[in-house]
Amino acid sequence: MTAVDTNVLVRLLTGDEPRQAAAARALFATGPIWIAKTVFLETAWVLRSLYGFEESAIRSAFTKLLGLKRVQVEDEPSLAAALALTAHGIDLPDAMHLSASPPGAIFASFDRSLIRRARRAGVAGVSEI
């Protein structure tokens, strides 16, 4: 198994460095790949900030990665739930915070906008402090 860094995902998803993009594709084609949640967070930031990707494009790319049979993801159910929340206007880091909360826990925040969006998305147990 090979755990990959953010730069490998960025090359795979953007293809902006042809040699590195080809190496990333070959790596994903040859064996099991492990992707940590933190790599997804950083990759989303890079794609949004440096490449101008829209949230929907990031969600689509990450969802496709989750569907690859050779790819294993840290806490995949939580990440899949977070990606679903991004469709409701919740940014990925906040969505990951919400989806990683233990069952039955109250998620408390000062961020009124996040609380409002989470409630609209059907997330139970969110509370404004």
Residue 31: per-residue pLDDT:
86
Do 38 and 44 contact (CB within 8 A), yes or no?
Answer: no
Mean pLDDT confidence for 99-125: 93
Fold annotation for 1-74: Rossmann fold (3.40.50)
Domain ranges (residues) in the chain: 1-74, 89-129
Do 9 and 58 contact (CB within 8 A), yes or no?
Answer: no
Encode pLDDT of 63-107 as tens digits.
Answer: 999 999 999 999 999 999 999 999 999 999 999 999 999 988 999
Please tell me what DSSP assigns to residue 102. Answer: P
Q: What angle is formed at CA 60 by the lines to CA 55 and CA 63, rounded to 5 degrees?
A: 120
Rounded mean pLDDT of the chain?
94
**What φ, ψ does residue 96 adopt, rounded to 5°?**
-70, -35
pTM beyond cutoff 0.75: yes
Distance (Å, whole) CA 50 – CA 70: 28
Look at residue 9 and tell me whether its pLDDT is greater than 90.
Answer: yes
Encode pLDDT of 21-75 as tens digits.
Answer: 999 999 999 989 999 999 999 999 999 999 999 999 999 999 999 999 999 999 9
**What φ, ψ does residue 34 adopt, rounded to 5°?**
-115, 130
For residue 86 the two structure tokens come to 């991004």
Please tell me what DSSP assigns to residue 107. Answer: E
For residue 69 the two structure tokens come to 């049979």
